[in-house]
Amino acid sequence: MALFTLSNVQISGIAAAIPKHQVSNKDLMGMSDVEKEILIDTTGIDTRRVADDSTCASDLCADAARRLLDEINWKADEIDVLIFVTQTPDYLIPGNSMLLQETLGLPKTCMALDINQGCAGYVYGLSVIAGLMSASGLKKGLLLVGDAITKIIDKNDNSTHPIFSDAGSATALEFNTEAADMHFNLQTDGSKHEAISLKEGGARMNTSEAGFMRMRGHEIFTFGLREVAPNIQELLRFGKAEFNEIDYFVFHQANRLLNESIRKKLDVATEKVPSTLEKFGNTSCATIPVTMVSEISNALQQGKQQLVLSGFGVGLSWGSAIVYIDACVCPELIERP
């Protein structure tokens, strides 16, 4: 059971970047005005950010990382470990972490590693980098999480096209023996791997076509209803934390219908569950850091906050974490021209 505690690692800063180019679901083709209104109301998604042809997840994460390193006053050569979480890497080979080691001017003594994860990617990535730093004593680490997911979306597919959006993020972590513990509850169900998939381009279906990501909406929706709330409830029991002690519950931004159902199951007040669905849609693995930077940055910068982070989706995989953030560096959301 992947229900565990990590010590001696703190989150010292978070930054996020989105493309400046904005599209609205009000302008969707092939739907009546009423259908579009209902779609926006049910999903909660009005505007989305779409990267141009030359911008990838690596660029958005690089923007976020540069700003964060600058504001937190870290030198690039101090970074011991870089982990990049994405499902839209620049290339199949090599991974984005290697590209960003060079782009950010990190030293050759920095270890760099890629993780293929989607909606649960921020929580999973946080567990891997914090676990590594906790066990090894590595002093400074960068977690880059982002997707240019619109590049693999079929514009004619109404189950994915109106939902997804692009973003990148950077989170700075430090080894600190005084840091509060982080608690994680991570789960997987590979038997439902077809619920969200893109098969072309891998070794089993190596075609020249890029292919599009497909999603079985009903399956993903019932998965979210069934698994997320119990995962969080179990995590809080494990971490001996009370629901009323948590300052914010930052969920993966899937859609309003699902997120609201999860919130009601947990009986958490709306003001404790920040949302960026309306403005930015579903930015895949980047939704959690984007929502933190966009909606609760003042609180994160001002004092100690106890957060529950919860990601859920492709895999299927899902996970939640209890983290404490004490006056971290959190520059305002970056818009990439």
Partner 1 sequence: MKTSYPDFSEIIHGHFDARLGMNHELIETWTSMQSLIVVSVIDQHFNVLIGYEELKKCQTLADLYELLVKKLN
Q: Does the footprint of partner 1 cover residue 156 (CB under 8 A)?
A: no
Q: Tokens standing for 11? A: 């989150």
Stretch that binds partner 1, among 32-40, 81-89, 120-128, 242-250 (CB under 8 A): 32-40
Minimum CB–partner distance for residue 153 and partner 1 (Å): 17
Residue written as tokens 């840091």?
A: 179
Q: Does the footprint of partner 1 cover residue 39 (CB under 8 A)?
A: yes
Question: Which of these, 119, 111, 106, lies nearest to 145 by C-alpha position?
Answer: 119
Amino acid at site 61: C
Decide whether 34 or 203 has the Cβ nearer to partner 1.
34
Decide whether 66 or 263 has the Cβ nearer to partner 1.
263
Q: What is the distance, to the nearest Å, from the Cα of residue 45 to the centroid of all Cα atoms in its chain?
A: 17
Give the torsion sign (CA, 72, 131, 122, 302): negative
Stretch that binds partner 1, among 34-42, 72-80, 109-117, 148-156 (CB under 8 A): 34-42
- Interface pattern 264-283 for partner 1 (x via CB under 8 A): x-------------------
CA distance 88 to 150: 9
Q: Does the footprint of partner 1 cover residue 131 (CB under 8 A)?
A: no
Minimum CB–partner distance for residue 79 and partner 1 (Å): 43
Minimum CB–partner distance for residue 124 and partner 1 (Å): 25
Helix axes 256-266, 217-238, angle to 10 degrees: 30
Decide whether 2 or 38 has the Cβ nearer to partner 1.
38
Q: Does the footprint of partner 1 cover residue 5 (CB under 8 A)?
A: no
Instruction: Out of 138, 145, 213, 258, point to the residue binding partner 1 (CB under 8 A).
Output: 258
- The neighbouring-strand residues paired with 48 are 23
The interface with partner 1 within residues 201-240 (CB under 8 A) comprises 216-219, 221-222, 225-226
> If you write DSSP's letter for every residue of 213-276 in order, what string do you get?
-EE-HHHHHHHHHHHHHHHHHHHHHHTT--GGG-SEEEE----HHHHHHHHHHHT--GGGS---
Instruction: Out of 2, 38, 92, 205, point to the residue binding partner 1 (CB under 8 A).
Output: 38
Q: Any residues with CB less than 8 A from the CB of 103 and at least 6 apart, and which? A: 58, 62
Contact residues for partner 1 (CB under 8 A)?
A: 34-35, 37-39, 42, 159, 216-219, 221-222, 225-226, 257-258, 261, 264
